[in-house]
Structure 1
Amino acid sequence: MIAKVLIIDDDMVSQFATRYSVEQNEMSTAIYVCDSAEEALIQISNLKKNGEGFPDIILLDLVMPGMGGWEFIEKLQKKFGIPKETKIFVLSAFTNSMDRKKAKDNLSIAGFYDKPLTRNMVDSILTSCVL
């Protein structure tokens, strides 16, 4: 089975590093990259329309222009609901204890990682989500 991984990050360097780390893992993946939360909602809508279903893993930057990560999660929940099989991992370049607590308390979030992600972090994420 191929895991669908959606990377949502406005920073091109972070996008590249995250994508590269996912590609280096031995798990078969289909990777989708979005520059914004708005674009990600459209991507998810298109996946659903095309019968491809919901992403298995969402790697979500919190701080982005326009819609941030927390607002994305709210809109995603309202528009589609979040299947329990989908694992959302929050990524942040800023260490903020409030965000960590909010992530820990949110049942939709499977983990919180500091950016940049390393290959070992991505391996840990993918391993925890073995389908």
Structure 2
Amino acid sequence: MLDSKINLLVIDDDDINIFIIKKIVEKTGFEINMVAKSNGKLAIDYLEEVTAQNAAFPHLILIDINMPVMNGWEFIEAYEQLDFKKDADLYILSSSVYENDIEKTKSYKSVKGFISKPLSMERLTELIKAIKP
């Protein structure tokens, strides 16, 4: 069991999905500080602000693929270019059933895997337990 609070960033433009993830987070029993952003641009802005303020960087980032302004792939490319000094565990969290999306996930060095929606409490618990504080 982890001793410290887990910082979770969810990047998704679907309010229902955000609501479901919040409920799952509450049921895990872990201390989780969850922040949600509705597109990749807002998420990049948030990460730059957190870094500038030397605030708590997310341990885990869940990224939807299809979003307005900056989609999940564009977010990952921007994230990798910015080369943040702290590492987060990044996962694509998508309803996509396209094999090419799952394969594309493997082409990014910072992405640890692809998770099909909806996120389950069991899967979130696995991800949290895998974080190295």
Say whether the fold is shared (TM-score over 0.5). Answer: yes
Match of 1:88 in 2: 90
CA contact (8 A) 1:82 1:108 kept: no
Q: Does 2:21 align with 1:11?
A: no
Match of 1:37 in 2: 40
Residue in structure 1 matching 2:25, options 12, 19, 22: 22
Aligned identity (percent) is: 27
CA contact (8 A) 2:93 2:117 kept: yes
Structure 2: distance between partners of 1:42 and 1:23: 26
Q: Does 2:122 align with 1:126?
A: no
CA contact (8 A) 1:6 1:58 kept: yes
CA contact (8 A) 2:80 2:110 kept: no
Q: Which runs of 4+ in 1 moved over 3 A?
A: 82-85
Structure 2: distance between partners of 1:47 and 1:85: 13
TM-score by length of 1: 0.89
Give, as a single letter, the amino acid of the residue that structure 1 aligns with 2:78: K
Structure 1: distance between partners of 2:84 and 2:99: 25
Query: Could you say what secondary structure the match of 1:91 adopts?
Result: strand
CA contact (8 A) 1:58 1:88 kept: yes
Q: Which runs of 5+ in 1 are unaligned?
A: none
RMSD of aligned alpha carbons: 1.6
TM-score by length of 2: 0.88
